Chain A
């Protein structure tokens, strides 16, 4: 994986010093909260319901054991012994003290980590495919391009005060594991006439007004990647709406202008910027690439001993096909039955770090589904790995099952939330695991957001749940048919909302409809797409 050189390190160290000074000025009263807020947000420091919350960037979701150990140490030393992995492949801590923030950033900087631009109206952490560099179906590893974009977007002087936050995802496979078209810019690395380039999708997003990004250019040559990105951002910075924060994301601009007019303006700006010589030399991409080169894979066993049914189930569900036939990518579920999705204790983080070192070439990935991947595990090592995971409550075999729920922190932690998400996730995972119904359902992606901002990706859930405030009481809207994969789709609301018990029963009801109506090999989503909303609605409300 990528390693900082002296320049990268100097930038992060400078940021630690700068933020330490800003925090000190706030503590001394030289900065008001109004003045400090955007500064702390650009360093991922929120004021949440119970305390300050710090979000630490994990660029394109990739980290090594030393980094994970430090994340665990921070949980122990400065927080309450745990952290929360997020839908943007980051980690956040819920109980941070402002007076500790500088020290935490200094600890992070020692292992090439930071909290730069993990919030604020700027370009956020670049996300990517969690199986990058391992997946059998990818064209190339997308992460070198993500790394180049990371450098370009870090402290970009023109784009620190955009109309609204800005999220970029990069993938390099036709299978989309990063919700690419639900980002402000989604980039797919593609091949055309033997040449590698970037296909740009702009103006996607979830939130209050979900949109699927249209393709605005099918092929941007690699020696124009940064220039084209800069043109996309400049048009947005100039014309994105500033009068209403709910209409300020680029998706609204692209929608209001139309993709064609937005594209025309980008192309005009692009032509201008091409003359400015702002593109990095291609040698920089070539410098970055070797950091993501394959580790030294060895031939070995290609099958496992399936005599232990629990192990066999975990292998079937939680491993993913690798480009080398003696390896798989193994998913560590952070969704134990009845657990808090995405939470991991310091002990679990230390263990994951140790296991990555022992079994996965010192590398891990954070998934946007709030799990952790060991990308390169020898098939021969799987049983030993699973045994250790299982003992630490990290071996739940539920990847992409109904129990593998994405849930935002919700009203238990978040000051924006209208309803709690986590208790619902806990109850759903318990209900469907206990009766064995989960096993009958197959792939079913259920996603819960505690407010309209949609951090829990509910629009993209095969089943989505949105928490709302109904006269001071938590209420939940159900939606069906969303997808964040290559068949990107936005869920449709079933009808009137439910209380907590009601929505639990409603999930039961819609899954019953699926089980009754499904045809051979159909997933929940396939059946929904075939039979439409009506049968589900009828079962729910008639």
Chain B
């Protein structure tokens, strides 16, 4: 699947396109098919997202998994600070990016 990501303009937070808006959670990302360019242009010009780009990802019962490790790190947070990731309760969550 093709999903969209970028950063929030004001806060810089990593966000994912969920079909309506931008979500902090990669699992909410939706397949945009061939609509990527159109959505990104519209959203960036209205400043609802900063420097968006499209990536490949897969989806299964565990959720959405970006194809490249860099985007998996973005989706989670720094693996060396599990307390600052989106899943602070799991000290081994860093393994997910590998």
Contacts and interface: CB of A to CB of B under 8 A. Distances in A.
> Is A in direct contact with B (CB under 8 Å) within the complex?
yes
Contacts of B37: none
B80 A474 contact: no
Interface string B69-98: 110011001111100100000000010000
A385 interface: no
Interface stretch (A44-52, A289-297, A373-381): A44-52
B11 A97 contact: yes
Given A33-B50, A411-B70, A51 B12 contact: yes
Contacts of B94: 423
A507 B34 CA distance: 47
B97 to A, nearest CB: 9
Given A47-B50, A50-B74, A472-B68, A340 B10 contact: no
B7 interface: yes
B10 A49 contact: no
B80 A412 contact: yes
Contacts of B79: 412, 420, 423
A98 B10 contact: yes
A94 B12 CA distance: 10
A63 interface: no
Contacts of B7: 47, 51
Contacts of B50: 33, 47
B74 to A, nearest CB: 5
A410 to B, nearest CB: 9
A91 B50 CA distance: 25
Interface string A84-107: 000000000011111100000000
Contacts of B44: 33
Contact of A97 (B10, B51, B78, B80): B10
A50 B77 contact: yes
A266 to B, nearest CB: 39
A411 B47 CA distance: 27
A420 B81 CA distance: 13
Given A33-B51, A49-B73, A472-B69, A426 B80 contact: yes
Contacts of B78: 50, 94, 412-413
A327 B81 CA distance: 38
B14 interface: yes
A94 B80 CA distance: 13
B12 A52 contact: yes
Nearest to A418: B70
Contacts of A48: 12
A50 B14 contact: yes
B55 interface: no
A426 B79 CA distance: 12
B53 to A, nearest CB: 11
Contacts of A98: 9-12
Given A411-B69, A411-B70, A422-B80, A47 B51 contact: yes
Nearest to A99: B10
Interface string A468-484: 01001110000000000
A398 B79 CA distance: 25
A420 B11 CA distance: 24
Contacts of A52: 12
Contacts of B41: none
A51 B51 contact: no
Nearest to B76: A50
A156 interface: no
Contacts of A422: 80
B73 A412 contact: yes
Interface string B1-33: 000000101111110000000000000000000
A29 B50 CA distance: 11
Contacts of A413: 78
A51 B7 CA distance: 7
A97 B7 CA distance: 11
Interface string A3-34: 00000000000000000000000110100010
Contacts of B9: 26-27, 98
Contact of B69 (A29, A99, A415, A474): A474
B73 A411 contact: yes
A358 B50 CA distance: 46
A493 to B, nearest CB: 23
Interface in A40-88: 47-52, 80
B80 A51 contact: no
Given A51-B14, A420-B73, A474-B69, 17 more contacts: A27-B9, A29-B47, A33-B50, A49-B70, A50-B78, A51-B7, A51-B12, A52-B12, A94-B78, A98-B11, A99-B11, A411-B69, A412-B73, A412-B78, A423-B79, A472-B67, A472-B69
8 contacts: A47-B50, A51-B14, A96-B12, A413-B78, A415-B70, A422-B80, A469-B69, A473-B69
